[in-house]
């Protein structure tokens, strides 16, 4: 928030501390609509992964952390809007409201960087479930993860070595300006959002899926596009508030509206693939039966609970028991019952199991 020069102050109207003009309840409506939806989706994700699948992974833990930071961001934004004048013109703020509002601003920015970064990391970690070893897709996921993490560290440092800008009389000669880091961060946010939601598109659409599942993919990535749009609007308003106006509280109101959309919709989109067993239980049973291995008892168990470890299996850590069972089935198809596999068939068996498991997780998650 820039301090207005005297010629700008001369154009401002007389302060109204009693009954100022406000933005209304739009920010409250957005926050209190999206946050409960995001919390519900995260709860359902954890219920599916922990209570149903009996197995969780790092992407689930990161999403929990992201939800905590998103709740913190919402609390700060609502408090600042209702108590510290974020919904008013700058000339209607008392000096105390201006100082406390700026302190709330840096707290909100910190929580937003934490929330948005952990959401991105969670989604990227979930991509490792469907990324084959040494594939270009996996390398791109690693590169994007490194970019998101590096940006997180850099912008957190830049945020906290700025000037103490809520002290209106502070000497700012030796401080980092507030504007450039925020503009770069918001712009890079748009780029990484687009990269994250574009990365799996070629892989997923290369699958032989029914048209209903293809429509589901289109809907999923259309919702993901909302995040890119929200981060784009947020980047625009960050630049406008910092460089085009001195009425930062009134114009900056839009920043927090789009912040709420970006963080909460990001959480929702990141959790939708994990809810597929809950949304389409019959399809999950069919897939569990189709990809079942081992004895008849294990197949029967998959029909009852189709989202067992088989579904969430890490394709890099196959057990010897799984390999031997698969080898038995493949041999029964390619060899007569009395024949034994050649020694050279072991590699083919492992590769087949690996490929089948990758395909299973792709179809199951999306």
Per-residue confidence (pLDDT) for residue 336, from 0 to 100: 43
Torsion of CA 183, 188, 190, 191, to 10 degrees: 150
* Confidence (pTM): 0.75
Q: Which two tokens stand for residue 354?
A: 């690996």
With cut-offs at 50, 70 and 90, classify the pLDDT of residue 349.
Answer: very low
- Rounded average pLDDT over 212-226: 73
> Could you count the other beta carbons within 10 Å of the beta carbon of residue 17?
11
Of 284 and 319, the one with more pLDDT:
284
- Give the count of alpha carbons within 13 A of 130, CB side only: 23
Of 102 and 215, the one with more pLDDT:
102
How does 152-190 read in b/e, with b if 16+ C-beta sit within 10 Å? beebbebbeebeebbeeeeeeeeeeebbebbebbbbbbb
With cut-offs at 50, 70 and 90, classify the pLDDT of residue 36.
Answer: very high
Burial class (CB within 10 angstroms; exposed 0-12, middle 13-18, buried 19+) of 133? exposed
pLDDT tens-place string over residues 75-104? 999 998 888 888 999 999 988 888 888 888
- Domain boundaries 6-278, corresponding CATH code: 1.20.1070
The answer to whether the CB of 237 falls within 8 A of the CB of 258 is yes
With cut-offs at 50, 70 and 90, classify the pLDDT of residue 259.
Answer: very high
Of 43 and 10, the one with more pLDDT:
43
| Phi, psi for 22 (deg, rounded to 5) | -125, 170
Residue (of 143, 179, 176) closest to 162 by Cα position: 176
Burial class (CB within 10 angstroms; exposed 0-12, middle 13-18, buried 19+) of 69? buried
- Rounded average pLDDT over 105-116: 93
With cut-offs at 50, 70 and 90, classify the pLDDT of residue 283.
Answer: low
| Strand partners of residue 162 | 176
pLDDT tens-place string over residues 139-169? 999 999 999 999 999 999 988 887 666 565 5
In angstroms, the first-to-last Cα distance of the chain is 44
State how far the Cα of 21 lies from the Cα of 263, in Å rounded to an integer: 28
With cut-offs at 50, 70 and 90, classify the pLDDT of residue 108.
Answer: very high
pLDDT tens-place string over residues 301-331? 333 333 333 334 433 333 344 444 444 444 4
Per-residue confidence (pLDDT) for residue 130, from 0 to 100: 78
Q: Which residues in the chain are classed under CATH 1.20.1070? A: 6-278
The answer to whether the CB of 271 falls within 8 A of the CB of 64 is no
Q: Is the pLDDT of residue 350 over 90?
A: no
Residue (of 333, 307, 253) closest to 80 by Cα position: 253
């Amino acid at each position: 928030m820039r301090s207005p020069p005297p010629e700008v102050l001369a154009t401002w109207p007389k302060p109204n501390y009693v009954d100022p003009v406000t933005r209304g309840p739009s920010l409250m409506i957005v926050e209190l609509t999206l946050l409960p939806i995001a919390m519900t989706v995260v709860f359902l994700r954890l219920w599916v992964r922990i209570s149903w699948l009996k197995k969780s992974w790092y992407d689930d833990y990161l999403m929990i952390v992201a939800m905590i930071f998103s709740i913190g961001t919402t609390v700060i934004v609502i408090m600042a809007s209702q108590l510290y004048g974020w919904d008013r013109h700058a000339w209607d703020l008392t000096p105390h409201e201006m100082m406390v509002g700026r302190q709330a601003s840096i707290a909100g920015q910190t929580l937003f960087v934490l929330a948005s970064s952990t959401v991105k990391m969670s989604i990227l970690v979930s991509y490792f479930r469907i990324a084959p070893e040494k594939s270009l897709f996996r390398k791109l996921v690693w590169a994007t993860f490194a970019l998101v993490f590096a940006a997180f560290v850099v912008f957190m440092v830049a945020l906290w070595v700025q000037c103490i800008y809520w002290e209106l009389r502070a000497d700012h000669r030796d401080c980092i300006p507030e504007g450039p880091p925020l503009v770069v961060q918001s712009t890079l946010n748009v780029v990484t959002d687009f990269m994250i939601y574009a990365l799996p598109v070629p892989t997923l659409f290369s699958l032989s899926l029914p048209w209903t599942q293809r429509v589901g993919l289109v809907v999923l990535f259309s919702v993901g596009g909302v995040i890119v749009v929200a981060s784009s609007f947020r980047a625009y308003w960050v630049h406008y508030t910092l460089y085009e106006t001195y009425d930062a509280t009134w114009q900056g109101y839009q920043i927090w509206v789009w912040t709420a959309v970006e963080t909460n919709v990001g959480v929702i989109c990141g959790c939708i693939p994990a809810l597929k067993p809950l949304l389409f239980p019959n399809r999950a049973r069919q897939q569990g039966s189709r990809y079942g291995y081992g004895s008849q008892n294990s197949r029967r168990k998959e029909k009852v609970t189709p989202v067992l470890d088989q579904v969430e299996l890490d394709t890099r850590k196959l057990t010897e028991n799984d390999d031997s069972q698969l080898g038995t089935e493949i041999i029964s198809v390619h060899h007569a019952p009395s024949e034994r596999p050649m020694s050279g068939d072991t590699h083919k068996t492992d590769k087949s199991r690996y490929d089948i498991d990758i395909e299973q997780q792709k179809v199951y998650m999306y």
